[in-house]
């Protein structure tokens, strides 16, 4: 799941090299944290969080197959 979020985020930002995704599992829920270059925050959040919402939608669909909930934190 981490790799997928990393791939998506790297495709959207100007500085793919500074994208970091960390993954931690707590109580059966996967917590992902996405960090990007400060200049790129807008590229992963979008107007009114539209991009963030889209990434979370995709993540939700992908995590259905794993049967595990994923939670994505950006920042």
Partner 1 sequence: MEKIFEASGKTVEEALDAACALAGVGLNEAEVEVLEVGSKGIFGIGGKDARVRLIVNAKGEEPIRPTITKVESKLPEAARTADKKPLKAQDKPYFVKSESKIITDAAMPAEKPVSAEPEVILSQEEVNQASAKALGFLEPIFAKMQVAPEHSVQYREGLVIVSFSGENLGVLIGRRGETLNALQYLVNLYVNKTSKQHTRMVLDVENYRASREETLVALARKMAEKAVRTGRRVELEPMNPHERRIVHISLQEDNRVETISRGEEPYRRVVIVKKGGRSYRR
DSSP 21-34: EEEEEETTEEEEEE
**Contact region with partner 1 (CB under 8 A), list: 19-27, 29-37, 62-70:** 62-70
Query: Which of 3, 17, 27, 67 touches partner 1 by CB under 8 A?
Result: 3
Residue placing its CB nearer to partner 1 in the complex, 1 or 33: 1
**# of chain residues touching partner 1 (CB under 8 A):** 20
Question: Could you give the maximum distance between any two Cα atoms of the chain, in Å?
Answer: 35
Query: Helix H segments across 1-75?
Result: 2-12, 41-45, 50-66
Query: Which of 29, 60, 68, 73 touches partner 1 by CB under 8 A?
Result: 60
């Amino acid at each position: 799941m981490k790799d997928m979020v990393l791939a998506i985020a790297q495709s959207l930002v100007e500085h793919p090299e500074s994208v970091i995704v960390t993954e931690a599992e707590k109580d059966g829920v996967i917590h992902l944290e996405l960090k990007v270059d400060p200049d790129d925050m807008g590229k992963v959040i979008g107007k009114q969080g539209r991009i963030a919402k889209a990434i979370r939608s995709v993540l939700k669909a992908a995590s259905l197959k794993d049967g595990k909930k994923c939670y994505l934190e950006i920042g």
